[in-house]
Structures are given as structure tokens and as C-alpha cells.
Structure 1
């Protein structure tokens, strides 16, 4: 399968922890659907200290995985929100 486009979309979204509303990422998201995965190369700002763990409440919100040959975070349902 093809790798995701490195430059990617121009629309950015802010991703927050659903539990404590702490900002986690600023991300270039494509499409208008739900947030299922975040390609690491599309993350503009990373506010986390440990990967996939909220810095405020220490709860895990995603899992590290490979999607189409690129490293990504696969979001756990209901753990994050975005605007």
C-alpha cells in the first residue's frame, strides 16, 4: 500500500484528552470523519512527555502502531476529542 502523503492536508485540528481537556497535539487531519489514527509525521506540536500518555492525568489515549508502512498512534475510542 502507498505511504501517507508527508505534506498532507493543510487543515489543522487541536487534539485534547477527553478526561481532563489537556491539549495533546496539533495535527494536520485529512477528511471530516472521526479521529481514528494520527500519523506521527503529521503532528505539528506535541504537548505530551511520554508517547500515548496524557501529561495531566497519566491515562493512556492511544497505541503506537504501523499503518501503511508509517508509524502512527491508533486512538482508543472515547479517550480524545478534537476541534
Structure 2
């Protein structure tokens, strides 16, 4: 499988915790689908202290994994929303 484009899309989305509405990331997302994974290299601003844990409510919202050989965060269903 091909690796994702490093520069990625120029459009950014804001990712928030669904439970406490705390901002988590600014992410360069491609496409119109649901947010399933975040490639680490496409995160433009990171508001978290621990990777995959919300700083507001201490709830885990993602797990680190390798997708197509590239480090990424696999988002747990229903834990975040994006605008």
C-alpha cells in the first residue's frame, strides 16, 4: 500500500473531546468521511499533554498504531468530534 502524502491537504479541522469539549488537535484532514485515524505527521497543533488522552477529563480517546508503516493515532468511536 502507498504511504500517505506528507504535506497532505491544506484544509485543517479542529478536533474536540466529545465529553468535555476541550480542543485536542488541529489536523490536516483529507476527504469528507468520518475521523477514524490521525497521522502524526499531519497534526499541525497538539493541545494534549499525553498522547491520546484528553487534558480536560483524562479520558483516553485514541491509541497509537502503525497504519501503512506510518505512525498514527487510531481514534476510538464516539470519543471525539471535528469541525
TM over 0.5: yes
The alignment status of 1:23 with 2:18, answered yes or no, reads no
Distance in 1 between residues matched to 2:61 and 2:5, nearest whole Å: 24
Query: What's the RMSD between the two structures over aligned residues?
Result: 0.4
- The two structures have a TM-score, normalised by structure 1, of 0.99
**Which residue of 1 is the match for residue 44 of structure 2?**
44
**Which residue of 2 is the match for residue 73 of structure 1?**
73
Distance in 1 between residues matched to 2:76 and 2:9, nearest whole Å: 23
Question: Which ranges in structure 1 are unaligned for 5 or more consecutive residues?
Answer: none
Q: Which runs of 4+ in 1 moved over 3 A?
A: none
Question: Which ranges in structure 2 are unaligned for 5 or more consecutive residues?
Answer: none
- The two structures have a TM-score, normalised by structure 2, of 0.99
